[in-house]
Amino acid sequence: MAEAPPPGDRRFLIFFDFDETLVDETSDDMVVQAAPGGVLPGWLKDTYRPNRYNEYMQRVLAYLAEQGVNEPTIRSIIEQIPACPGILALLRFLQSRPPQDFEVVCVSDANTLFIESWLTRAGFRTVFLRVFSNPAHFDRNGQLQLRPFHSHECQRCPINFCKAVVVREYIARRVRERGGRPFQRVFYVGDGANDFCPSLTLSQRDTVFPRRDFPMHRLIQEMAEAQPGKFRANVVTWASGEDVIKTLRKIVEERG
């Protein structure tokens, strides 16, 4: 069967990061707990190179497989990661809204298997129209194979993933698919330094939600001080998903 075309009637588009935005941990760090003694050997940690974390995690996952860490163990660890404060309430809010309100997308430098596993277990996979992340799957030997999402020329981001490229291309494609009709507003919920880059692509009518006192928030503050007016989107910080709900509810109600 041909895949159904994406809905064209959504009024708003909202992007979410995964690690420390949907879940209150870094999923890669949680999986490392399955290593013998809960830590990685020094020789393996020493292979990390700046901006090449995806390649490093490929080696980590190979090591875990060699140590007998299997698929059920990894899935169990991921599925038990707690959500960030108020995030389940935020996802329930999005789930409860009329279908024409929100198109929801996840953009993360984690991997597809971790994200899909957690969302499915939490009961919110169907809330998300798309998940953009590094491809991952278990091979016939039970090893979790990880690949980079893409290559790009952005100097700010890791070599395997620039969220700004993903966000910009996704919005452009969806507007074309919608017959040239833009979303009324775009929202971005994140926490990390790699969430700052996509937030720069948004306009004055859009809103970014940086997690309070996390790297994304600090980078926005630094730009506001050093280059006033350059950061165009509205900024609403969050410590709980309830903070995001308040803003979204106000916007959807004022626009009917």
State the pTM of this model.
Answer: 0.93
Residues 80, 73: Cα–Cα separation, whole Å? 11
Contacts (Cβ under 8 Å, ≥6 apart) of 116: 125, 131
The SS3 call for residue 154 is coil
Contacts (Cβ under 8 Å, ≥6 apart) of 118: 18, 22, 23, 27, 78, 79, 81
Q: Which residues are catalytic?
A: 17, 19
Token look-up 């919110």 returns: 124
Paired tokens of 82:
């707690």
Q: Binding-site residues for substrate, please?
A: 28, 109
Residues 175, 180: Cα–Cα separation, whole Å? 5
Residues 155, 161: Cα–Cα separation, whole Å? 11
Q: Using one digit for the tens of pLDDT, what is the confidence trace for 112-160?
A: 999 999 999 999 999 999 999 999 999 998 899 988 665 657 677 577 6
Q: Binding-site residues for Mg(2+), please?
A: 17, 19, 191
Category of 201 on φ-ψ map: left (φ > 0), alpha (ψ -120 to 50) or beta = alpha
With CA atoms as reference, report the closest residue to 129 among 16, 248, 22, 242: 16
CATH classification code of 12-23+83-134+149-254? 3.40.50.1000
pLDDT for 150 equals 58
pLDDT for 1 equals 42
pLDDT for 151 equals 60
Q: Binding-site residues, please?
A: 17, 19, 28, 109, 191
Q: How does residue 53 score in pLDDT terms, banded at 50, 70 and 90?
A: confident
Q: Using one digit for the tens of pLDDT, what is the confidence trace for 79-93?
A: 999 999 999 999 999
Residues 115, 21: Cα–Cα separation, whole Å? 12
Q: Using one digit for the tens of pLDDT, what is the confidence trace for 193-202?
A: 999 999 999 9
Residues 43, 84: Cα–Cα separation, whole Å? 33
